[in-house]
Amino acid sequence: MKIQVLGTGCPKCHKLAANVEEALTQTGVEAEVEKVTSVADIAKFGVVFTPALVIDGEVKVAGKVIAPGKIAEMIV
């Protein structure tokens, strides 16, 4: 599984990345986590608002920070 956190480095982007790590710890799921900070790379996903969460190439959430529990539901 590949999880990407899209964002330019704002506090909300950091929070989403931390929530992803917490969800992985809670579930025991192993995944490659990548932080995508380049505006050009973020645009390739069609994302206008960050932070965004991408799981296996599919944008799951954009423009908000979601709780670790919600992320865990998506990755299990």
Q: Which of 1, 8, 10, 38 is catalytic?
A: 10
| 1 a catalytic residue | no
| 5 a catalytic residue | no
Q: Is 7:51 a contact under the CB 8 Å cutoff?
A: yes
CA–CA separation, 29 and 15 (whole Å): 19
Supply φ then ψ for residue 25, to 5 degrees.
-65, -45
Q: Which of 3, 6, 13, 54 is catalytic?
A: 13
Residues with catalytic annotation?
A: 10, 13
